[in-house]
Amino acid sequence: MAEMQEYLQKARTLMEALPYIREFSGKTVVIKYGGSAMAGEERMSSFAENIVLLQYVGIRPVVVHGGGPQIDRMLEKLSIPSRRKEGLRVTSPEAMEVVEMVLGGTVNKQIVALINLHGGKAVGLTGKDGDLIRARKHFAPSPAGGDAPPLDLGLVGEVVEVRPAVLRALEGNGFVPVIAPIGVGAKGEAYNINGDTVAAEVAGALSAEKLILLTDVPGVMDAQGGLVSTMTAGETAAAIRDGTITGGMIPKVECGLTALGKGVRKVHILDGRVPHSVLLEIFTDAGIGTEINPPEPGQRGA
C-alpha cells in the first residue's frame, strides 16, 4: 500500500507539471547560475539534469553563469593581487586574463560538459562570440556621493547591447547556450560584467518567458522574515524604498525589474542550493521561491 501511494504521488506530480509543460514548450527561459548552486559536483550535476529535462520537454533554456570563487582561487594561485574599492572587485588587465581563462574556459566548459553528459546539447559562449555582448567601461558611484568622482574599477564593464542572433541560431538548432558574462568593447577589449546584469539583458533581448535567478537564500523575504511567494514590480520597488528588501537582494531584484521592463514575462528568485529547484519553481503550482510579475496583478504560474 505504501508503495502504491508513492507511485500515485509521482503520478500527481507529473499531472501537476503537465499544464506548465504545455504552456512553456517552445519558449525561452534564461537562468542565472552561480554562487552556492555551483558548490560541489552533486549540485552541478543536479542543475545539469534540470537543464536537460527542460530541453526534452520543449523549453529553450539559456544559462548565464558566474564563477567568482573560482576566479579568486586562481588569482591567489597565480599570486595576482585581488583588489577591492568600497567592497567592489577591481579588475586589472592581469586579473582580466584570469577572468577570461576561468569564466570563459574552465567553468563554462565544465557546465557544458555536464549538460552534454546527461543527454543535452550545450555550447559555451562569451560575449565575444558572435559579437553577443557589446560593453563599455563601468564607473561605480562614489559612496561619498555629491560631487565625488566615481570609482574606477578597471576592466569592469556594463552592457551596451545584446545581439542575440547567435543565441537564436543555437536555440533553433536544439542547443543550450551557456554564457560566461564577459563583454567586448568597441576596440575588442574584454570586460568583466556582473552575471545577474548579463542574464537580465540577455532575457530582455530574447523576449524570454522567464528569468530565473538562483541565489543562496529562499527568495525575497518580508519584514517578518517570511518568504514572499508572489510580488508585482510595483510592490518590489516599494519594498526596496521602505527597506524591506536590503543588502545583496537589492541588485538582484533590480536586475529582475530591468528584465520585466524589457518584456520578460516573469522573474523568479529562488534558492539554488535546493535540489531540482528550477523544476520545482517552474512545474509546481506553489513554487519554492519568489515570483515577480509585471505591474499588473497576476496569479502565480498564470
Cβ atoms of 207 and 28 closer than 8 Å: yes
Residue 141, pLDDT score: 83
DSSP H or E stretch at residue 31: strand 28-33
Model confidence at 165: pLDDT above 60: yes
Residue 4, pLDDT score: 67
Residue 220: C-alpha distances to residues 192, 231, 245, 254 (Å)? 27, 9, 7, 12
* End-to-end alpha carbon distance in the chain: 35
Q: What is the mean pLDDT of residues 75-81?
A: 92
Q: Kindly list the structural domains of the chain, giving each domain's residue range(s) and its CATH number in brackets, ordered by start.
A: 26-293 (3.40.1160.10)
Residue 235, pLDDT score: 93
Instruction: Work out the pLDDT band at 301, boundaries 50, 70, 90.
Output: low
d(CA 90, CA 86): 10
Q: How does pLDDT run across 258-267, given as a tens digit for each residue?
A: 999 999 999 9
Residue 29: C-alpha distances to residues 122, 130, 151, 220 (Å)? 15, 21, 34, 20
Highest mean pLDDT among 79-93, 107-121, 148-162: 107-121
Residue in this structure with the C-alpha cell 519558449, named with its chain if needed? 27
d(CA 300, CA 287): 9
Q: How does pLDDT run across 189-230, given as a tens digit for each residue?
A: 999 999 999 999 999 999 999 999 999 999 999 888 899 999
DSSP 167-183: HHHHHHTT-EEEEE-EE
